[in-house]
Amino acid sequence: MFNLGLEQLIENCKKQNTKAQGELYKLFSSKLFTICLKYSRNRVEAEDNLQDAFLTIFKKIEQYKNKGSFEGWIKRITVNTVLQRYRNEKVFDLVNENSIEDTTVEIEEDSISIDYLLEIIQELPDRYRLVFNLYVLDGYSHKDIADMLSINIGTSKSNLARARQILRQTIEHYKTVQQSQSL
């Protein structure tokens, strides 16, 4: 097994050394898979997105100049790879910014598990899931999201509002079912 420093590993990857590429994959695949899973519809699609992200990383690794965090650089590539798939699929509808109402989702402690919450987020339609994850989980601004997804700010805001509305309804339904089962 390679046990080189990260900098040397990157240099070997730049020389298209397949052993170094394999080592880099082992080193970062689980972290990047988590990102892919967050933005993908399901596990199979996340695996495809991870492979596409690594292909892009290896193709663009020459562009990394050892400035800034390498992990941050590959995470950005991974997010952009996944988002590019959705940009190509044209999953976003343009909306009138004035028709947006903000919805909040209130979750009582211990009322639902984090696994269930992640499951229902993953079940959101693509355009809502992507904006929700970028805004709520990753802290991007609506302007950043609009730039990343090639949509307008109003579309980002409305997709976030709709995602929250769907999540609120799903959680309320879940709570109702849970309460009726406990009677």
The string of pLDDT tens digits covering residues 59-100 is 999 999 888 899 999 999 999 999 888 777 665 544 444 444
Q: What is the CATH number of domain 6-89?
A: 1.10.1740.10
- Provide the token pair at 104: 């909040």
User: Among 56-60, 140-144, 158-162, 179-183, where is mean pLDDT lowest?
Assistant: 179-183
Coil, helix or strand at residue 143: helix
Residue 37 pLDDT greater than 80, yes or no: yes
- Output the pLDDT for position 90: 60
Domain boundaries, the chain: 6-89, 97-182
Average pLDDT over residues 15-26: 96
| CA distances for 112 relative to 82, 83, 109, angstroms | 28, 29, 8
CATH class as words, domain 97-182:
mainly alpha
Q: How far is 150 from 101, CA to CA, in rounded Å? A: 22
User: What's the one-letter identity of residue 69?
Assistant: S
